[in-house]
Amino acid sequence: IKELQSLVEKACSRPSINQTIFPNTSSDNYWSSSYNRSYWSVSFAAGLISSSGGGYNYVRLVRVGQ
């Protein structure tokens, strides 16, 4: 979840991500692959992390920096 959350830009809003680097990003939730009993996601509407039992969300591939 930390890798996905690192894309959040607090200076940007709806979506809270740099649109120059990540164009056409939705303000909706994006899944994380972090394991837990719940599912973790990041909302790019406000840059918040949440957990839920499931549903439909977007996916963005991220990895730890080198």
User: CA-CA distance, 49 to 36, in Å (whole number)?
Assistant: 14
- pLDDT, greater one: 8 or 64: 8
Per-chain mean pLDDT for the chain: 85
Sheet containing strand 29-31, strands side by side: 48-52, 39-43, 29-31, 58-59
Q: What share of the chain is helix, strand, coil (3-state, %, to 5)?
A: 5, 25, 70
Whole-number pLDDT of residue 33:
76
User: Per-residue pLDDT averaged across 16-43, rounded?
Assistant: 86
Q: What is the pTM of this model?
A: 0.75
User: Per-residue pLDDT averaged across 1-16, rounded?
Assistant: 89
